[in-house]
Amino acid sequence: MTLEIPEVVINRLPIYARALSALAEEGESVVSSQALGDKLDVTPAQIRKDLSYFGRFGKQGRGYNVNGLLAKLREILGLDQQWRVCVVGVGRLGHAIVEYGGFEPQGFQIVGAFDTDRAAVGRTVGTLSVRDAGELEAFLRTHPVDIGVVAVPALVAQQVVDRLVGAGLRAILNYAPMPAHVPEGVVIRHIDPVLAMQSMTFYIKQAEAARG
Amino acid sequence: MTLEIPEVVINRLPIYARALSALAEEGESVVSSQALGDKLDVTPAQIRKDLSYFGRFGKQGRGYNVNGLLAKLREILGLDQQWRVCVVGVGRLGHAIVEYGGFEPQGFQIVGAFDTDRAAVGRTVGTLSVRDAGELEAFLRTHPVDIGVVAVPALVAQQVVDRLVGAGLRAILNYAPMPAHVPEGVVIRHIDPVLAMQSMTFYIKQAEAARG
């Protein structure tokens, strides 16, 4: 049944979970869809519709139980679990990713870092020693990994994605500036600052046109 | 009229433009919505619907003129223009952003880099000398900037966003792991790898459940 939930809905759930987590830390026990929506620039109707895919939460006019809804979202998304991540490409960006402090507290542990550059291999980044990318498949056979992060140049990104998928990974986070393909049953997310910028210039142009 | 175009549609246009650009480079002159959709994992119906906001493109059964549609999308999105970008926060991530080679060829020129860290200020990153963050507003008064990139720690991100908006910027790209707010009329995009990972674990869980 949950297979029919639109991907855009799934993509919003972590945002709701994060906002609820902040509310819980502030000691709030109840939140209305209006107040939650105000925090996130999402309409209350959208929030209610998104959550309706997963059952009934909250009572009309009473708002949501913060801890109850948070627990449910964490279960749906697997946020309470530990997930193992490997990073392929340890240039400046990959380096920043491996050393980024935001993953581990959220249950994402980076267990392997790989590069083809002989100067990088063997270097310590964070708590890891960078491995030769040639050892990727051998590593993945013996170390369970859930998510592969691709931080290599665009030209070799598809090849790296194919190798990760071939080794059995089903979730890819791609930082390379190209839309890598994955087969059915594999999920991929692209981190692409150029696309993000290009989606904003439309609005800058509009505002300039409105000012005349 | 264009004000009513859903943001998700605007967000997809740069992806279409990129795919069309690749087709043009390959010498393709016509593409069907089916073929374009296959390249992007988007349904042909979605592509036709998205483009219908901007007029009529292509003829039933004939496909789209690659160069014509690309030119139109580039005009809509302002992709032919030059856009000026400043980066606030030049730690490892901000450093990678400033040195990233993917912005300039797409018309995004980084014209200023700022940090509060005295050790960073004055250092050369890419072709820029890192400026003291205290000089941000003064810089923005004399140097026109279109897009502000925020690569500072979460705790100070909202404050930096507020300063950029206060200085007149209307487009923010936020790399900090928190959903910063902007007033009406300002557009913001968040680069958030944790949210991206959290939106994938749902599918990993589902696949594991399906295997039993």
Evaluate the CA torsion angle A20, A22, A24, A30 in order and state its sign: negative
- The pLDDT tens digits for B139-182 are 999 999 999 999 998 899 999 999 999 999 999 999 987 778 99
Evaluate the CA torsion angle A60, A61, A67, A70 in order and state its sign: positive
CA distance, residue B105 to nearest chain A CA (Å): 10
Nearest to B55 by CA among B91, B2, B96, B107: B2
| Interface pTM, i.e. ipTM | 0.89
CA distance, residue B188 to nearest chain A CA (Å): 8
Token pair in block for residue B8: 């998700």
The highest-confidence range among A37-41, A108-112, B123-127, by mean pLDDT, is A108-112
- The pLDDT tens digits for A60-83 are 678 899 999 999 999 999 999 999
Q: What mean pLDDT, rounded, does chain B reach? A: 91
Q: Is B187 on the interface with A (CB under 8 A)?
A: yes
Q: Is the pLDDT of residue B2 over 50?
A: no
Q: What mean pLDDT, rounded, does chain A reach? A: 91
How many percent of chain A have pLDDT more than 90?
Answer: 70
Q: Which amino acid is at A99?
A: E
Rounded Cα–Cα distance for residues A60 and A42 (Å) = 19
What number of residues does chain A have?
212
Q: Which residues of B touch A19 (CB under 8 A)?
A: 179
- What per-residue confidence (pLDDT) applies to A4? 78
Number of C-alpha atoms within 13 angstroms, CB side, residue A186? 22
Minimum mean pLDDT range among A5-9, A45-49, A89-93: A5-9
Minimum mean pLDDT range among A79-83, B3-7, B34-38: B3-7
- What per-residue confidence (pLDDT) applies to B175? 92
Number of C-alpha atoms within 13 angstroms, CB side, residue A126? 22
- What per-residue confidence (pLDDT) applies to A177? 77
Rounded Cα–Cα distance for residues B57 and B71 (Å) = 12
Rounded Cα–Cα distance for residues B37 and B64 (Å) = 12
Using pLDDT thresholds of 50, 70 and 90, give the confidence band for residue B60: low
A14 to A65, A168, B144, B187: CA distances (angstroms)? 17, 25, 36, 21
Q: Is B191 on the interface with A (CB under 8 A)?
A: yes
- What per-residue confidence (pLDDT) applies to A192? 86
Token pair in block for residue A79: 């946020």
> Which of A19, A83, A185 is facing B201, going by the closest CB pair?
A83
- The pLDDT tens digits for A126-137 are 899 999 999 999
Rounded Cα–Cα distance for residues A113 and A90 (Å) = 7
Q: Answer yes or no: are the C-beta atoms of A33 and A3 closer than 8 Å.
A: no
Kindly provide the residue ranges of all beta strands, DSSP E only, lying in B37-170, ordered along the sequence. 64-65, 83-88, 108-115, 124-125, 128-129, 131-132, 147-150
- DSSP-derived secondary structure letter, B103: S
User: Which pairing describes strands B30-31 and B64-65: parallel, antiparallel, or unpaired?
Assistant: antiparallel
Phi/psi region, residue A152 (left: phi>0; alpha: psi -120 to 50; beta: rest), is beta
- What per-residue confidence (pLDDT) applies to A1? 43
State which residue of chain B sits closest to A192, comparing Cα positions.
B191
- The pLDDT of A49-58, averaged and rounded, is 85
Rounded Cα–Cα distance for residues B79 and B76 (Å) = 8
Q: Is A181 on the interface with B (CB under 8 A)?
A: yes
Q: Is the pLDDT of residue B65 over 50?
A: yes
Q: Answer yes or no: are the C-beta atoms of A44 and A34 closer than 8 Å.
A: yes
Token pair in block for residue A133: 């990318």
Using pLDDT thresholds of 50, 70 and 90, give the confidence band for residue A144: very high
Q: Is the pLDDT of residue A38 over 90?
A: no
- The pLDDT of B33-57, averaged and rounded, is 87
What predicted TM-score, i.e. pTM, was given to this entire model? Answer: 0.81
What number of residues does chain B have?
212
- The pLDDT of A161-169, averaged and rounded, is 97
- What per-residue confidence (pLDDT) applies to B170? 95
Nearest to B12 by CA among B39, B138, A142, B28: B39
- What per-residue confidence (pLDDT) applies to B107? 95
Place of tokens 């030059």: B82
Q: Which residues of A touch B197 (CB under 8 A)?
A: 83, 85, 103, 106, 108, 147, 171, 173, 189
Number of C-alpha atoms within 13 angstroms, CB side, residue A127? 5
N-term to C-term CA, chain B = 51
Rounded Cα–Cα distance for residues B42 and B61 (Å) = 18
Minimum mean pLDDT range among B19-28, B39-48, B76-85, B141-150: B39-48
